[in-house]
Amino acid sequence: MSFIPFKIVLVDPQIPQNTGNIARLCSCTASELYIVGNPGFRMTDKYLKRAGLDYWNDLNVKQYRSIEDLQSQFSENSFYFLSTKAQKTYTEANFKQGDFFVFGSETKGLSSEIIENNKDKLLKIPMVTNKRSLNLSNSVSIVLYEAIRQTKILE
């Protein structure tokens, strides 16, 4: 497959198994994976590699120092930021091929600075009150497959 439908961005991911699962998801959907900031593990971590299985060969993971660096390089693309602090749900957005979906770390989510600077593109996954958050790899799957459903690019 020569096209890249979507781009998944993980800011400061902390759990290698989640990143490995997300890498596998990206490979199976022809999406790209971007790691921004400082992951809490090495990209050679055995748990990361094990979770991604043999899908790593099909994936070119790109790393950036900051979200601003990434946004400046892809200024023509739309960026959506997922946070429990958003008012708008992910199903209210109209996704298109090439969109970036930005997720924060498992322990802290997105920083208040990223949230403040991107309020107009902030989305949430609805869930019951009194719960902190969903698992990161599950959240990425939910949003990515909604984008695939909307665009019908993998039918």
Q: E strands within 12-111?
A: 32-36, 62-64, 79-82, 100-103
What is the CATH code of the structural domain delimited by 7-151? 3.40.1280.10
18 three-state secondary structure:
helix
> Which residue shows structure tokens 């708008």?
88
100 within 8 A of 73, measured Cβ to Cβ: no
Helix (H, G, I), strand (E, B) or coil at 94: coil
Beta strands in 44-115 (DSSP E): 62-64, 79-82, 100-103
Contacts of 152 (CB under 8 A, 6+ apart): none
| pLDDT at res. 39 | 85
Average pLDDT over residues 122-149: 94
pLDDT in tens, 31-86: 999 999 998 877 775 666 665 556 777 787 899 999 999 999 999 999 999 999 99
pLDDT at 49: 66
Segments making up each domain of the chain, as ranges: 7-151
d(CA 56, CA 82): 25
Cα–Cα distances in Å, from 7 out to 78, 91, 112, 140, 152? Answer: 10, 18, 22, 11, 16
By the 10 Å C-beta count (0-12 exposed, 13-18 middle, 19+ buried), 17 is classed as middle
Q: What is the mean pLDDT of the chain?
A: 90
